[in-house]
Chains A and B, each alone.
Chain A
Amino acid sequence: DAKTTQPPSMDCAEGRAANLPCNHSTISGNEYVYWYRQIHSQGPQYIIHGLKNNETNEMASLIITEDRKSSTLILPHATLRDTAVYYCIVRVASGGSNYKLTFGKGTLLTVNP
């Protein structure tokens, strides 16, 4: 799987958009970009994933650059409850004996009032 690089921490003002970057310059054509987050003392939570097109759901938007070497997770109106560690994971679609994720260190997003 391609290696990902994320800043260790970021700050964002409440009500503003939070833009979390992820670099995956060695990504291959069949690897997806997944985002999870982990709020303190809770289990990780799936947010969104994409291959090459931008994606949006009720939680966030995922913007993937045209060359796919980087992506940005956007929380359009951050709230205090969005304070969490955000994990960017790159993974090829593979079931059976290889259906697993590896979580790195992620980005600690702190939303300030």
Chain B
Amino acid sequence: DAGVIQSPRHEVTEMGQEVTLRCKPISGHDYLFWYRQTMMRGLELLIYFNNNVPIDDSGMPEDRFSAKMPNASFSTLKIQPSEPRDSAVYFCASSNLLGTSGRFSYEQYFGPGTRLTVT
């Protein structure tokens, strides 16, 4: 498997524009997570899905952020309208409840991230 795939790797946009980040999880994984990382706030969980259903979106900063998972192999995180304070690296991760050992695990596999800059 190619691992978690994210696109684009870099995105530069102007304030007020819509931004869409994309993620393809590892095949067979039933959990998908979106994180945001900044120097000030560290790595924060925004939302996660189980079997394509959003389970916890308490980390989503505000209504400008939305995430969808239309099928098991694709998810999007959308920011509309974008603001300079949204500048960060956004990571997608996927996992199975049972890890590689076949027992319960929090083994999450992260993608390379999307570096978003909003000017």
| A interface residue numbers (CB < 8 A to B) | 32, 34, 38, 41-46, 49, 89, 91, 93, 95-105
Q: Is B93 an interface residue (CB 8 A)?
A: yes
Residues of B contacting A: mostly: strand
Given A45-B110, A100-B56, A103-B42: A93 touches B33 (CB 8 Å cut-off): no
- Contacting pair B43 A44 (CB below 8 A): yes
Chain B residues 78-119 with CB under 8 Å of chain A are 91, 93, 97, 104-113
- Contacting pair B104 A95 (CB below 8 A): yes
The digit string for B27-61, where 1 denotes a CB below 8 A from any CB of A, is: 00001010000000011010010100001100000
- Contacting pair A99 B43 (CB below 8 A): no
- On chain B, the residues within 8 Å of A105 by CB distance are 42
- On chain A, the residues within 8 Å of B50 by CB distance are 96, 99
- Contacting pair B109 A46 (CB below 8 A): yes
- Contacting pair B48 A99 (CB below 8 A): yes
- On chain B, the residues within 8 Å of A38 by CB distance are 43
